[in-house]
Chain A
Amino acid sequence: MADASLGSQAAAKWRKKRGSLIMALHEIQDVKGYVDWSDAVELAENMDVPLARIYEVLTFYNFFKLKAPGKAVISVCTGTACYLKGNDKVLEKFKSELGIDEGESTADGMFHLQCVRCVGCCGLAPVCVVNGKTYGRMTPENVPVILNEWREVFKEN
């Protein structure tokens, strides 16, 4: 039930500030990685915001996740520079290697694949970021190497 109290904690903090629903949702996602039904229901009750409105916000912004993402979050930059330098092919390789589409997680809960627009190091284009670690000058051939690297990380844990 530790998760269930997240909603009420976030609500207690943000309830009095008008228009702060997004901040409360951020807070939940920061801690837990996603916002699920029970969080949203609790937030609705404690912030006095209709559940329907909460899901309007949750689904409007790509940033919010409704399900637990994979342990390793792969962000493929599809900003202009990275895209032109061939990150579309890198993205396709990730999809085929993992058997998932963008915005999805693998069934084993290991990987989550998402697209982002510019991570601020276009000089290294095309760029991917996995759990904060940046990989520059990506090629489709690098993809299995990176995946194996992270499989090893989680095996050790």
Chain B
Amino acid sequence: MVNLKIDNIPVEVEDGKSILDAARKANVNIPTLCKHPDVNPSAGCGMCIVKVGGRIMRSCCTPAAEGMEVITNDAELGEIRKTVLELILSNHPNSCLTCARNGECELQDMASQMGVRSEEIRKILSAESIDDSSKAIVLEPAKCIVCGRCVEICQNTQNVWALSYLHRGMATKITGANDTKLGDSPCIKCGQCAAHCPTGAITDYDTTNQVWNLLKDKELVTVVQIAPAVRVALGEEFGFDFGSNLTGKIYAALRKLGFAKVFDTNFGADLTIIEEATEFVRRFKENDNLPMFTSCCPAWVDYMEKYYPEMLPHLSSCKSPHEMVGAIAKTYYAQKLGIDAAKIKVVSVMPCTAKKWEIARDETMSSSGYQDVDVVITTRELAKMIKQNGIDFASLAEEEADNPLGEYSGAATIFGVSGGVMTAALRTAFFYITGQELGNLCFGPIVGLDAVKMAEVDIMGTKVRIAVVNGVGNAEQVLEEIKTAQANGEELPYHFVEVMACPGGCIAGGGQPKVMGAEFNKPWGINDKIRKLRSKGLNCEDEKATNRLSHHNDSIKKLYSDFLGEAGGEKAHHLLHTKYQKRPLYK
């Protein structure tokens, strides 16, 4: 441990912590634009300067030392910081009014806080054009302040290596290798770059206008569904505490926006579990391409198709829950209500940018005869639509979803958090194998934010080994472990593996809100504290649910008996399963 003083406040921190860490522990705010709790310091912005023994240094990358006396604030430091900020602003366009991050931008906030009222430094703006080629994430180089968070996240956290620094100095730009457009790069559209960008340089591909156009067309029956993770994050945009579960209010808001029917992706999650548990039990018994990997996360699927094509047979063939809802809405539901499926349009509200890509990833995404899901908007985009229409979200009375595509179990709601899909699948797989219900419905070791979580589940004397990978950057070690075991003819380390591409799971997806909160004095958007609060929101709903098992969802049972037939059967396969293909890293 190291003892030091920050502005005369004594503070003790672990060895290796920076002065900035120490200051945060002492509740002293040092302004920064590049340092984010999720990434290593890049010493990029120069805002976090402090004085130690009269010398000025960057607090983010200077280790705290024993006996240090740090001054974080005086007139000179303030003046230098303001100049540094003015230099950054001299390379940044003044298009705040029409920027996607207007009102939740760290640079804008900093300019306001520092009282910048004029621009003395001649502006030099990047002439680079906008890259929206991925149709999921938009890169606007002119708004980049080269803080490096996105590169750190893309390369080191996610291990995807789509984004990189090209050139140096004033010419530095963040883009793909050799200037490759994101859509032609290894990008898996997870959106963690957008979730961490302090400005509007990386944002989601805005499809709200497509939704407004659908809602305007009175000939259409436009239905909507919300993903599990949306319900515990949307409230942040309207002043609710982090992790507040506002399902009922969100349903009400969606009806106010004009959606004809409000469904829940959680219904699709229960349906996914029926199919996926059936598939797992069969594959487990037949020892067919084990371990089986979950397939709900499109960014993970994209990663596999690009980085590990030789292991594609290990992926479950199940579509993701919202795709299942789309397929069922345009077949079963259309028939049930006697509506022409061509007139049904499905909008998915997702915590995810990769889902925007997923809806057209191949022809199995049009199993109903139409594209099963028409438009995906993120949680952030839904918040914008609600605000745009002047809906007083906080005062909305709670409503219910429309049945039958609205009923869900506790197992479905935890799909949004790392370990949740595995937990839900095991509850049902246990029942399928033994005919009995699990005594303990949670598997302690696979809960939480650890990189790779492992457990062994005893199913009537058979040990099922499971792994849960939290963040796609941690998948490589598990995949290599499996490959090594295969190559050496050893016993497989796992039978069933869950992967969610975003650290923490969908609750911290690339499309989730990035707002300021009282206890988080910067719009950092996401950190482990927020991950835990949102996870808690979903886990609480599961704990309190009257039914916590997907196979006891009555609407699902009815769907099978009236329409699908057997789980894993031919009709279910056509509508609810997909296939995979090798994709090149670079086009």
Interface residues of A (CB under 8 A from B): 37, 40-41, 50-56, 59-60, 66
Contact = CB atoms under 8 A, between A and B. Distances in A.
Contacts, number: 38
Contacts of A59: 166-168
Contact of A51 (B167, B168, B586): B586
Contacts of B165: 56, 60
Interface string B152-169: 000100000111111110
Given A59-B166, A59-B167, A60-B167, A53 B161 contact: yes
Nearest to B166: A59
A91 B176 CA distance: 33
Interface in B562-587: 585-586
A52 B176 contact: yes
B178 A55 contact: yes
B177 interface: yes
Given A37-B178, A40-B178, A50-B155, A55 B168 contact: no
A20 to B, nearest CB: 19
A37 B177 CA distance: 10
Contacts of B586: 41, 51
B177 A52 contact: yes
A60 to B, nearest CB: 5
A66 B162 CA distance: 20
B164 A52 contact: yes
A41 B585 CA distance: 10
B566 to A, nearest CB: 45
Given A37-B178, A40-B178, A51 B166 contact: no
A59 B164 CA distance: 11
- Of A41, A55, A66, most B-chain CB atoms within 10 Å: A55
Contact of A54 (B163, B176, B177): B177
A51 B178 CA distance: 9
Contacts of B178: 37, 40, 51, 55, 66
Contact of A56 (B162, B166, B186): B166
A61 to B, nearest CB: 9
A59 B161 CA distance: 16
Interface of B: 155, 161-168, 176-178, 186, 585-586
Contacts of B164: 52-53, 55-56
B583 to A, nearest CB: 15
Contacts of A54: 177
Given A51-B586, A53-B164, 4 more contacts: A51-B161, A55-B164, A55-B177, A56-B165
B162 A52 contact: yes
Contacts of A56: 164-166
B305 to A, nearest CB: 17
Give the dominant DSSP class at A's interface: helix
Contacts of B177: 40, 50-52, 54-55
Nearest to A58: B178
A19 to B, nearest CB: 16
A54 B586 CA distance: 14
Given A37-B178, A40-B178, A52 B167 contact: no
A55 B177 CA distance: 6
A28 B215 CA distance: 58
A50 B186 CA distance: 10
B168 A52 contact: no
19 contacts: A41-B586, A50-B177, A51-B161, A51-B177, A51-B178, A52-B161, A52-B162, A52-B176, A52-B177, A53-B161, A53-B164, A55-B166, A55-B177, A55-B178, A56-B164, A56-B166, A60-B167, A60-B168, A66-B178
A53 B164 CA distance: 7
Contacts of B168: 59-60
A50 B161 contact: yes
Contacts of A60: 165, 167-168
A50 B155 CA distance: 9
CB-CB nearest 7 A-B residue pairs: A52-B164, A50-B161, A55-B177, A51-B177, A52-B177, A52-B161, A59-B166
Nearest to B164: A52
A149 to B, nearest CB: 34
A50 B585 CA distance: 10
B141 to A, nearest CB: 15
- Of B167, B176, B178, B586, most A-chain CB atoms within 10 Å: B178
A115 B178 CA distance: 23
B192 to A, nearest CB: 15
A35 to B, nearest CB: 10
Contacts of A52: 155, 161-164, 176-177, 186
Contacts of B162: 52
A53 B186 CA distance: 13
Contacts of B585: 51
Contacts of A50: 155, 161, 177
Contacts of B186: 52
A115 to B, nearest CB: 15
Nearest to B161: A50
Contacts of B166: 55-56, 59
A50 B177 CA distance: 9
Nearest to A37: B178
A52 B586 CA distance: 11
Contacts of B167: 59-60
A34 to B, nearest CB: 13
